[in-house]
Amino acid sequence: MGDVVLQRWTERVQAARSAGTTLLIKGGDTKEFYGEPRAPEVDPAEVLDTRELRGVSSYEPSELVVTVRAGTLLSDLEACLAEKGQFLAFEPPRFAPGGTVGGMVAAGLSGPSRATVGCVRDFVLGATLLNGRAELLSFGGQVMKNVAGYDVSRLLAGSMGMLGVICEVSLKVLPQPTASLTLRFDMDQPVALETLHAWAGQALPLSASAWWDGALVLRLAGAEAAVKAAAQRLGGDVIEAALAQRFWGGLRDHCDDFFLHADRAIAQEGACLWRLSLPQTAPPLALSGEQLIEWGGGQRWLLTPESATSVRRAAAAVGGHATLFRARDRRPAFSGGSVFMPLSTPLEKLHRQLKRAFDPEGVFNPGRLYPGL
């Protein structure tokens, strides 16, 4: 697994520990906007570029498992899987060309199908990690039944490089659905949420949903007979396949109309884009601004000028939480707070214990997940 590269990385970690310096883990840098802002200026000597370690280590299509080095381009992995009619079912956002598999896991973000198939961590079977003690550790394995260390490998999803460098991961993959169809319905937000709740309790091949600006868009996927039967039962307007593919791809990669509008509002008006994680049964939130709703109501994107206090209070009132996803300047937005939901005292203690266990000297990505970590 790239022994020369790993040896060089190990030596760099040892040197950083001895010198009391830090290392910034960096792949394609497609998600630099996400999480706590890093230092305005980073010494190039402190950057650890994961793209030095790339390639598919093993792939067993019949077993639905691929093991891949963390610096591998996500586009390369997806192309490899597509040749065998398989894919990453959780549809990780790509945002821009050049994203890596390690960055995908470290960010822990999932796309439109998350509510029906699961999130990134649900597909991580095992991982190899270079921690802050300059130790190369392996967790999990290549089968879902593997128990030893399984939770540790899943813990890396969304860790933002806080625990170390992800060197290699084993992922569960799935066959691409044989049929897919996208339907459009005109309805306001309350009706759309009620409708999605009703459909969720029925035997329908639901794959993804999105509501914005008075339109609910629904993707059906699975066996051709099941998709056709569901479409006849639900009604709605059928969206042409090529247009539907562009729509879901734009939603996945945040380049559709809503997110392009959000980018302009952030740059010109100083608005903020929030990612609200809520129970699917949560009612519409009384917050100013525009909302795009995914995951059957479980993920709601909010473009608003409202304060962090107002947004988080509204999310917490219905049992959810809010993350500042994009802003013109993340530093003054919270006056010392965090872009992620503040941790409870027990959870903050657990985070600090994990940091001390894996990276006691704070070598990797200091402050990218939470200030002080």
- Residue position matching structure tokens 């540790």: 152
Whether 179-248 and 3-175+354-358 are alike in CATH topology: the answer is no
From the list 198, 106, 200, the residue with the least C-alpha distance to 158 is: 106
- The CATH code for residues 257-326 is 3.30.70
Mean pLDDT of the chain, nearest integer: 93
Domain boundaries, the chain: 3-175+354-358, 179-248, 257-326
Q: What is the pLDDT of residues 148-174, one digit of tens each?
A: 444 788 899 999 999 999 999 999 999
Q: What is the pLDDT of residues 235-261, one digit of tens each?
A: 999 999 999 999 999 999 999 999 999
From the list 294, 198, 179, 184, the residue with the least C-alpha distance to 235 is: 184
C-alpha–C-alpha distance, residues 108 and 277, integer Å:
14
Q: What is the pLDDT of residues 87-126, one digit of tens each?
A: 999 999 999 999 999 999 999 999 999 999 999 999 999 9
pLDDT tier at 2 (50, 70, 90 boundaries)?
confident
pLDDT tier at 332 (50, 70, 90 boundaries)?
low
C-alpha–C-alpha distance, residues 148 and 144, integer Å:
11
Report which residue type is found at 6.
L
- Residue 336: pLDDT above 60? no
- Residue 47: pLDDT above 60? yes
CATH architecture of 3-175+354-358: 2-Layer Sandwich (3.30)
- For domain 179-248, the CATH class is alpha beta
What residues pair up with 87 in beta bridges, in sequence order? 174
Give Cα separations from 89 to 174, 260, 289, 325, 338 (angstroms): 6, 25, 31, 23, 30
Question: What residues have CB less than 8 Å from 370, skipping those under 6 apart?
Answer: 36, 338, 340, 343, 348, 351
- The share of the chain scoring above pLDDT 70, in percent, equals 94
- Tell me which H or E stretch contains 9: helix 3-19
